[in-house]
Structure 1
């Protein structure tokens, strides 16, 4: 069973990602379309920034990222979550910030 400390950690890392994503996404405002490869690149930057803070263990960072088992594409097609059953937290934050910039 997941205890309260797990949810506190997940909330804290989610909040940190929410603060980091807009600035990182703004670096890519010159790109016209959010592609899968770009989404993965942005996700990697967000994770690197959160790691650099030194506050979060790898297991909690893995909770907000796209797990390889989900099979998200890594090519240059435009991102679409239309048929997705699960959308990782970072992906959702990036998509939302992208729509604000574009």
Structure 2
């Protein structure tokens, strides 16, 4: 993977967006808030779907998931990134889609 291979990363983002919107729409019908447990679950579903498509490189798929460096909670509290300037790409996309649908 080279940093100049931005087209591959863009392909992952483009493929992830409709997957995220579909999954978020399914969860939004419950009327429940976006919790840490739910955002982790949605991220896992998105990554599974992206991995199933054999035309995307796993290294680029891994760039959008949370790295574990940031210790995001895994509980039923509503998601709150506070004033964080560094948010995992998938989490950011999920959060935005969830609140746009609201």
Q: TM-score under structure 1 normalisation?
A: 0.89
Aligned ranges for residues 1-102 of structure 1 at < 5 Å? 2-5=2-5, 7-29=6-28, 30-102=30-102
Bigger shift: residues 16-25 or 39-48: 16-25
CA distance change for structure 1 residues 3 and 69 in 2, over 3 Å: closer, same or farther?
Answer: closer
Query: Is there any run of 5+ residues in structure 2 with no aligned partner, and where?
Result: none
Q: How big is the alpha-carbon RMSD for the aligned residues of Structure 1 and Structure 2?
A: 1.3
More helix by share: 1
Aligned length: 100
Deviation at 1:47, TM superposition (A): 0.5
Residues 87, 3 of structure 1: alpha-carbon distance in 2 compared, 3 angstrom cutoff = closer
2:51 and 2:93 map into 1 onto residues whose CA distance is 18
> For structure 1, which runs of at least 5 residues remain unmatched after alignment?
none
**Runs of 4+, deviation exceeding 4 Å:** none
TM score, norm. by length of structure 2:
0.89
Deviations 1:28-49 (A, max 9, x none): 0114110001000000000111
Q: 1:20-65 CA deviation, whole Å, 9 max, x = no partner?
A: 1100111101141100010000000001111111122221111001
